[in-house]
Structure 1
Amino acid sequence: MDPTISIIIPMYNTEKYIEECLQSCINQTYRNFEIIIIDDNSSDGSLDIASKVLKNSKCKYNIIKNDKRSGVSYSRNMGISISKGQYIYFLDSDDIIREDTFEILIEKCTYYKYKLVYGNYSRNLKEFEKHKKSNKFKIYDTSIYSLDKLLYSGLISNALIDSDIIKRNNLIFDESLNFGEDTVFKIELLKYINKVIVVEDILYYWRIVNNSLSSENMDLKKLIEKEYKLLIKLNTIINQNYSITYNTNLIKM
């Protein structure tokens, strides 16, 4: 039997965190999933640790190692291409999820028949650990008027997405971008979805390991070039999808 959920985890040099990330998947109360790890040619012990953890688990899994460093978008696209689940869930290899994450998200997908359900997230570990289950959620349409709320409401790495929407419409992450590729993917995805559920529960801990954009050694020229490239891309996509040139502050994640 094919898994209901494919968890796609791009991994690069996260030996300090990958075991905790995988254990948060293994400990899920909802069990019908597969774990797909795309190792982006890590130079540390990430691959060995991930292999050992998954080998000792009862989970379905697949580990692929890239021949060279190819970037997170390439890795996610590779994961999409080999996934077998009805739904796709992206998880970063240094982050963790709450043990009832899939139980909550899949219940919303199946009961309300929606193609996309976001969970809430936190960058604060204490907030993530102490947050109590609320069962509250909001429903948004995907009109231009709700677009900014949807882009801010959740990470692409904390959404349960109907895989048929992705594969039937050939949606992929833009491998030419190394900044804001998540936002571009979201906008392309929302083009094919009428309504979205955003769950209030904090289901995802977004760990900040090395935020190069706020680093003191940040190359301002390169950052401006990245933002400009992303801005042009977003403006083009939004204009095509919504026949309107939208507010450029969408790029502020």
Structure 2
Amino acid sequence: MNSLVSICIPMYNAANYVEETLQNLINQSYNNIEVIIVDDGSTDASVNIVKPFLNEVIKLYHNPNKGANAARNYAFSKSSGQFIKFMDADDFCSPKLIEKQVDLLQKQGTSLSLIFSPLKMLYSNGELIDPIRTIDKNYNPAIGLLIDIWNGGGFNCPLCHLIPKDLVQVSGGWDETILKNQDGEYFARVYKHADKALSLTDEYVVWRQTGTGVSSALSPAAINSVLVTYDKIINIILSHKDNSNTREICERYLGLFVYENYAHDKELEIKLNNILKKYNLSLKLPDRKLLNILRSFLGWKRSLKLIRKYNL
């Protein structure tokens, strides 16, 4: 029961939150943990705030200006635990999350199983939202969780998961070339390699929405990075099960992405068409009344540009 859990935290300019994050970990009911923080070149007071916490349990390393995924990989390379939890420097979890995840994973899982818990989203105005989820159930094989996430059943953040070290190793490291949807691509590979995904619903994690992280980036490079990850995830899904249902799921997921981002990148259509052609997919845009009206005489491209430009 008392296996070591390594908590891997990339940190960049988290001075407003990192103290609360560390205090939350210290107060967890499960105390056999090591906290590995990797600073990515913070320019605020983050490092100075962390220093008083440092001891044999909480450790700080520096791997500056290489990005969050490089920091995660570096933290994992320094880990010693049988179980791994990736989290961000501004997130936290309910007091018994780690204890209960370890217990259930050891009782019902294997060295290639994972466990996950629901999340709450905390906004800067103090509002705490429980996203609608239908994914909080056990999956065997675990890739069913990925398919249900893409089918609109909800989503997880890194902190939701506890993963055996063996599963982390077989899934491969975090892709350091990805700018956006880093965790989506990484955990798609974890779900692919896991034999099952266990759900623990009586504890939860808090995913802070600061609006300043990589997930909020909408640059052309970031959008292109998302398409790269979607290409990889579609390949994982269709390699597991290629039928009308999984194809429609992929088509609708791509369609929602286009609906939300088309105006931000002029070359999006070319990149998107390459993916559609590669997997012989069609583009299924969301069923939105205004879009349906406009596209009947403007076409979908001009309609989306108009909707985005005027925030319709």
TM bin (shorter chain): 0.7 to 0.9
Instruction: Say whether the 8 Å CA contact 2:180–2:215 is kept in structure 1.
Output: no
Larger proportion of helix: 2
- The residue aligned with 2:71 is 75
Q: CA deviation at 1:20?
A: 0.2
* 70-79 vs 221-230, which moves further: 221-230
Within 2, Cα distance between the matches of 1:73 and 1:62? Answer: 18
The DSSP-based 3-state class of the residue aligned with 1:141 is coil
- The residue aligned with 2:194 is 193
Tell me, which stretches of 5 or more residues in structure 2 are unaligned?
A: 131-135, 258-312
Q: How many equivalent pairs are there? A: 237
2:118 aligned with 1:120 = yes
Q: CA deviation at 1:109?
A: 0.7
Q: CA deviation at 1:107?
A: 1.3
Q: CA deviation at 1:194?
A: 1.9
Letter in 1 for 2:30: Y
Q: 1:99-118 counterparts in 2 under 5 A?
A: 99-114=95-110, 115-118=113-116
- The residue aligned with 1:149 is 148
Q: CA deviation at 1:61?
A: 2.4
Within 1, Cα distance between the matches of 2:93 and 2:179? Answer: 24
2:269 aligned with 1:242 = no
Tell me, which stretches of 5 or more residues in structure 1 are unaligned?
A: 131-136
Instruction: Say whether the 8 Å CA contact 1:235–1:248 is kept in structure 2.
Output: no
Within 1, Cα distance between the matches of 2:139 and 2:97? Answer: 20
Letter in 2 for 1:65: H
Runs of 4+ more than 4 Å apart: 125-128, 143-146, 211-215, 248-253
Q: Give the direction of change, closer, same or farther, for the CA distance of 1:84–1:211 in structure 2 (3 Å limit).
A: same
Q: CA deviation at 1:250?
A: 5.0
The DSSP-based 3-state class of the residue aligned with 1:14 is coil
Which structure ranks higher in relative contact order (CA pairs < 8 Å, sequence separation ≥ 6)? 1
Letter in 2 for 1:27: N
Q: Give the direction of change, closer, same or farther, for the CA distance of 1:236–1:70 in structure 2 (3 Å limit).
A: same
Larger proportion of strand: 1
Q: 1:150-189 counterparts in 2 under 5 A?
A: 152-167=154-169, 169=170, 171-189=172-190
1:92 to 70, 88, 93: 88
Length-normalised TM-score, structure 2: 0.67
Instruction: Say whether the 8 Å CA contact 1:87–1:160 is kept in structure 2.
Output: yes
- The residue aligned with 1:133 is none
The DSSP-based 3-state class of the residue aligned with 2:43 is coil
Length-normalised TM-score, structure 1: 0.82
2:11 aligned with 1:14 = no
- The residue aligned with 1:64 is 61
Question: Which has more radius of gyration?
Answer: 2
